[in-house]
Amino acid sequence: MYEVNAPDIIFEYMDCNLIVIDGVEGLYYASGGTGAEVFRALEAGYGEDEICAALKNAGAGFDADRAVRQFIRQLVDYRILREAPGRKAPGDFPPFPADGMDQPPAITRFDDLQELLLIDPIHQVDVGEGWPFVK
Amino acid sequence: MVNGSVSVVIPVYNNEKYIGEAVGSALSQSCAPLEIIVVDDGSTDGSAEAAAKAFPGVRRVTLPHSGVSRARNEGARAARGEYIAFLDADDLWEKDKLEKQLEAMRNNPEARIVLCRLRDFVSPDLSPEKRASYMLKGEKTGYHAGCMLIRKSDFLETGGFPEDRAIFESVEWFIKVREKGFTTIVLEELLMHRRIHENNTLQKDKKKIDEAYFSLIRDWLGKKGGG
């Protein structure tokens, strides 16, 4: 199981799309279609096997096992998700929407605002202590 | 060296403790500025009065409290110099900051903005225990108002800092500059020092910070997607 690497990582859904922001590194990510749906399932606590099965049931037009494994590895490499052994999802897996099942999950990484975002002291704010981090 | 072409704009909001050093830092430049404008953003602690008393030559613009963006913008509008340099009321410049940036402007006629590098420092007036508790990062490329030299006409052409954004106002402004295609030169020299102290005006509300992040990125993705 996995969980979002909070508080460094924040995310939101906008319609069917996903935006992920890494405030520490000044990076942001965008995903849509199956990427956003699989991320939604992962952050809710569902496991790889459940997600792959659901994709197959929804008629995925790609190798679901391979694609989900690669997608998860990418999210972990990007420090968006971290492993969370023992985490349990809240209930039965909700079905994926039938549309858009032809493309494997993917996420795009952007660093074009990195220098700008990192200069702003806001990324150094510790919610409890203020800025900068207090050791 | 030709003096007298730079207006230094110092916005201040309740920063009586440090504004004298900031003004002194601007006044001691090897290339003297034409003027120093202290924009009082509705201070209640006498910051601007203290600066005016200590430095009678300083111009003063007074506003109701409305945020650093408006204070900078009003200061820029009031400026008489060809160039504008912003300096926050708690920060400091190296003595040759303006000289080096003006030289870069002259040597690079295509340049619209000249930046420098900045480093954070813990205010020396804090207790040793407090000072030791801070963890600072190293030098950074100065996409920060205090690191910038820009022509007044170019600054006004950008429309100024966004007054409706309380967080990331500088980021949004630099994005706007990038979209306009302004040639920006970054000097690899450390010329600006950002003071860390107990009253930095920083947002500590995680929800507001997150909302500001998403608003900024949504807008930027929209622009990129929209061409």
Cross-chain residue pair B170–A122, CB shorter than 8 Å: no
The total number of residues shown for chain A amounts to 135
CB pairs under 8 A between A and B: 79
CB distance B211 to A10 below 8 Å: no
* pLDDT above 50 (res A126): no
Residue of B118, B119, B171, B203 to mutate, interface with A, max A Cβ within 10 Å: B171
Q: How far is CA B55 from CA B1, B66, B81, in A?
A: 24, 25, 19
As given in the structure block, the two tokens for residue B190 are 């450390």
Query: Does residue A98 sit at the B interface (CB-CB below 8 Å)?
Result: no
3-state secondary structure of B224: helix
Residue whose pair of structure tokens reads 């985490």 in the numeric block:
A87
- Residue B205's closest CA among B217, B213, B196? B213
- The string of pLDDT tens digits covering residues B172-197 is 999 999 989 999 999 999 999 988 77
User: Which residue on chain B is closest to A22 by alpha carbon?
Assistant: B213
**Where residue A70 falls among pLDDT bands split at 50, 70, 90?**
very high
**Each residue of B41-76: pLDDT tens digit?**
999 998 888 888 888 899 999 999 999 999 999 999
The confidence score (pLDDT) of residue B165 equals 84
Quote the DSSP letter at residue B55: -
| Option in A14, A23, A127 nearest B218 (CB) | A14
What's the rounded Cα separation, in Å, for the pair B182 and B110? 9
> Percent helix, strand, coil in chain B (nearest 5)?
40, 25, 35
Sort out which chain B residues have CB atoms less than 8 A from A122's CB and list them: 167-168, 202-203, 209, 212
> pLDDT for B77-91, tens place per residue?
999 999 999 999 999
CA distance A131 to chain B (A): 7
Q: Which of A7, A116, A125 sits opposite B171 (nearest CB)?
A: A116
**pLDDT category, B147, cuts 50, 70, 90?**
very high
Which residues of chain B are within 8 Å of residue A117 when distances are taken between CB atoms? 168, 171
Asked if B196 and A132 come within 8 Å (Cβ–Cβ), the reply is yes
List Cβ neighbours of B27 (8 Å cut-off, separation of 6 or more): B33, B36, B55
Q: Is B212 on the interface with A (CB under 8 A)?
A: yes
Whole-number Å distance between alpha carbons of B138 and B132: 16
Give the span between the Cα atoms of B18 and B16, in whole angstroms. Answer: 6
Residue at B170: amino acid letter = S
Residue in the block written with tokens 């504008």 = B84
CB half-sphere exposure, A65, CA atoms < 13 A: 0
Task: Judge if ipTM > 0.85.
Answer: no
Which residues between 77 and 136 in chain B have a beta carbon less than 8 angstroms from any beta carbon of chain A?
Answer: 118, 120, 133-136
Expressed in angstroms, the distance from the first to the final Cα of chain A is 31
